[in-house]
Structure 1
Amino acid sequence: MPDPDPFWWRDAEPAKARKVEGGIQINSTRGPVARSWWSQRFLSVLESLGVGGRLSRGRSYARAGQIVSLDVDAGGAVAQVQGSRPQPYKVRIGVPAFGKAEWAAVAQALVDDASYAAVLLGGEMPRDIERVFEAVGLSLFPASNRDLSMDCTCPDFAVPCKHLAAVFYVLAEWFDADPFQILALRGRDRETLLEELRARRTAALPSDPAASSGALADVMDTYWHAGPGLPERLAGAHTPPDALLDQVPRFAIDVRGEQVTDLLRPAYRAMAGEDAELVTGP
């Protein structure tokens, strides 16, 4: 009896994939997928590891929404990708997660330079955050092929296959929207990391309330006084009451051939006690 699934058939799946209703897809319809520097860095790392040359195989899958589900957690991402067969393929992309001691060293390094925490709280990835990890002997992005594992249940022998590649594209776009997803792969979600940063910053504050209050008490007599030269500058400054109207964009319509802002100027001056006759009339 002939083999129902011969060797020559197992090296690739038919090209026509089954359509997925409500699948996960990337928003980019053409051109580069990654917009932020950290997503571009993620894809460039894959290229340096010899993965990037085959990523384009999954771009059409990612744009068509063939990914049924995708979950990112410490140590990797797990997804289901619909191919041509009835059952979606199971895809896993793994990276080593850092331990508690390693993340403690990273958190302390981030606290030591307040600018890092400020950028992270703003929802972005600090440009030189890789240096923070390198300083404590770690790598934020995969440093070698040993830092990256890829598995898919499809019959394609190529690694990455189109299903893995599609997941990489979706991850890159997810990283654009939330850089903390990259940190989550390494073992720290957003809330856990920020809570640890806040705790370390609080612990670094002076423990003696008297010491901190004494510094303020020393300057209480002059705390509310203006600096030298400031009163003179304020006294000489005069802002016209209708200056705000100069910042208003031109209205799309005019009233009897006059701009709306010009019609409002007499009212602004009247409220300031100037040119009241322009409002009340003769």
Structure 2
Amino acid sequence: MNRPWWYEDPPGPPRKVAGGIRARSRRGEIAQTWWSRRFIEVLESFGMGGRLARGRRYARAGQVLGMTLSTSVVVARVQGSRPEPYQVRIAVRAFREAEWRRVEDALAGQAWYAAKLLAGQMPQDIEDVFDRLGLKLFPDSQRELSMDCSCPDWEVPCKHLAATCYLLAESFDSDPFQILAWRGRTRTELLDHLRELRGRGGGETAAGEAGEAPALADCLDTFWTAPHPPPSPAPGAVAAPGALLDQLDPLPLTVRGRPVVDLLRPGYAALAGTDSDAAGTDRADR
């Protein structure tokens, strides 16, 4: 009788590995920021909560050997009980170019959103921008998320997929722009487009695609209304000391080979009452 290959090597404890990716959180919740917690909440809303918990130990033990995020797909190698690591894939639909242009136009039209993103931060209510355009930043159904693993476990997510989900959430903690990159827009592309739109007065608050003001007769009902105030910052939120510098286009000025913007950062950090070294580290992390 021919048996499947996995009958020949019964499952057991995972093989210990060195140099794997370990979750920074050693106990309690792994996701720390609102956007990474939101990602985990979305997965749990699909009825995956119990199965996700099985992968937490794998994530903290460093069983994930490598993980790469690119447009629409995350791939990882996870060491289980077999000699060969399992191949893991988590995919989501990337937005089309026309959809991203609509998102960027909406973001550029609100100074608050543009300033937060240009400062390397994720606006608290950015999901609302996508919702108004009929898009979802995070998948809202299990059908939008494709998960598979080369292990013999038929449940989805298996512990190898779950471990990858937790480490993906932690990577969102470190760099929220990875969420947008997963949907098809890298940090550089998004920020360059926002600077371009802001520079020419674009965005949904500008009138008309050609940049021309609408006729007065077409906007009498809104002409005397006050503009919408920017969203209130989250309680305790503090703007990065160099946020203003991050909104500038690159300046063609250097001092002894160093960009002048980098030389200004310690001064902004001192004025904000923060340590300049910490400010420099924050800049490097972004």
TM-score normalised over the length of structure 2:
0.68
Deviation at 1:6, TM superposition (A): 7.0
* 1:47 is the counterpart of 2:48: no
Aligned partners of 1:158, 1:49: CA distance in 2, in Å? 13
Q: In structure 2, give the amino acid aligned to 1:3.
A: N
Aligned partners of 1:22, 1:195: CA distance in 2, in Å? 36
Deviations 1:189-215 (A, max 9, x none): 111110111111112189xxxxxxxxx
Deviation at 1:63, TM superposition (A): 0.4
Q: Give the paired residue count.
A: 205
Deviation at 1:4, TM superposition (A): 4.6
Q: 1:34 aligns with which of 31, 34, 52?
A: 31
Q: Aligned residue for 2:168?
A: 171
Aligned partners of 1:111, 1:75: CA distance in 2, in Å? 24
Q: Aligned residue for 2:98?
A: 101
* 1:118 is the counterpart of 2:119: no
Q: Is the 8 A contact 1:13 1:155 kept in 2?
A: no
SS in 1 for 2:66: strand
Q: Aligned residue for 1:211?
A: none
Q: Is the 8 A contact 1:96 1:147 kept in 2?
A: yes
Q: In structure 2, give the amino acid aligned to 1:150.
A: M
Q: Aligned residue for 1:203?
A: 200
Q: 2:146 aligns with which of 136, 144, 149?
A: 149
SS in 1 for 2:54: helix
Q: Is the 8 A contact 1:96 1:186 kept in 2?
A: yes
Rate the CA distance shift 1:147–1:13 in 2: closer, same or farther, 3 A: farther
Name whichever of 49-58 and 37-46 sits farther off: 49-58
Aligned partners of 1:28, 1:109: CA distance in 2, in Å? 35
SS in 2 for 1:68: strand
Rate the CA distance shift 1:15–1:117 in 2: closer, same or farther, 3 A: farther
Q: In structure 1, give the amino acid aligned to 2:4.
A: D
Deviations 1:67-107 (A, max 9, x none): 11100111120111111111111000000000100000000
Q: Aligned residue for 1:5?
A: 4
* 1:185 is the counterpart of 2:182: yes
Q: In structure 2, give the amino acid aligned to 1:14.
A: P
Structure 1, unmatched stretches of 5+, are: 207-246, 248-282
Q: Aligned residue for 1:58?
A: 55
Q: Is the 8 A contact 1:152 1:164 kept in 2?
A: yes
TM-score normalised over the length of structure 1:
0.69
Task: From the CA coordinates, give the structure whose radius of gyration is larger.
Answer: 1
The equivalences for 1:53-92 within 5 A come to 53-92=50-89
Q: Is the 8 A contact 1:35 1:176 kept in 2?
A: yes
* RMSD across aligned positions (CA): 2.2
Deviation at 1:13, TM superposition (A): 5.9
Deviation at 1:121, TM superposition (A): 2.3
* 1:134 is the counterpart of 2:131: yes
Deviations 1:110-140 (A, max 9, x none): 0010111211222221111001001111000
Q: 1:16 aligns with which of 13, 16, 20?
A: 13
Aligned partners of 1:61, 1:128: CA distance in 2, in Å? 32
Q: Aligned residue for 2:268?
A: none
The equivalences for 1:237-252 within 5 A come to none
Aligned partners of 2:162, 2:104: CA distance in 1, in Å? 32
Deviation at 1:177, TM superposition (A): 0.8
Aligned partners of 1:49, 1:197: CA distance in 2, in Å? 34
Rate the CA distance shift 1:6–1:198 in 2: closer, same or farther, 3 A: closer
